[in-house]
Amino acid sequence: MACVASFVDNLLSLYRRVEGQSWEEVRGLILFAIEPSDYAEPLPLRSPISDRVDRVPVIVRAPLQTVSFITPTMVDTWQVSRAEVETTASRNLAAALTAAKLEYGDVDGVRLGYLGTELPIKAALILAPNLREVVSPVLGWPLYAVIPDRDFLYLWASRHQSLIDRVGRTVVKEFATAPYPITTEVFEISDDGIRPIGAYSPESA
């Protein structure tokens, strides 16, 4: 119980420090994260991506890479609009994607892409407004993506549908064992946006 109490005290202390900072102090730390939509208390400022996951604005702090959800109270304290918070999150996410290293492996002649970055919410990079610009020269466009947890992202050209079955076991295992699982869904990313096209079942493992 003492460990739990200490964790809660540290978490509350972190939120108090965040809420006490000005907009100028935090604006460079604001990003979007992707989180499950089944929290007992719905996350503040969320926007649905699918029935299972939401887009939420967060603050990511170095060097420990802690992730704090932004609340309406914080937005009021900063005296900015929700729209400005979201615009800032998109801009910072684009910069994070530009700074990331796009790599890929060959799976039966298909390029399976992943991103090297210290960002602890790697999955959220599919929301970056410059995703096509950065990724399409290497992987193609449109894309399929899987994001079983915060720090996991696979991308590949959607014309290679056969790869969906090949990565299923990895996605289900990662979702089941990760500290911050998100979803077993497969997403199609195109000029029309992001949409789920299906999800792996536990039997895929």
Chunked in runs of 10, what are the mean pLDDT values of the chain (205 residues)?
39 52 95 96 95 97 87 96 98 98 95 96 98 98 98 98 95 96 98 97 73
According to DSSP, residue 159 is labeled: T
**Model-wide pTM > 0.85:** yes
Domain regions of the chain by residue span: 2-97, 101-204
Contacts of 175 (CB under 8 A, 6+ apart): 148, 149, 181, 182, 183, 184
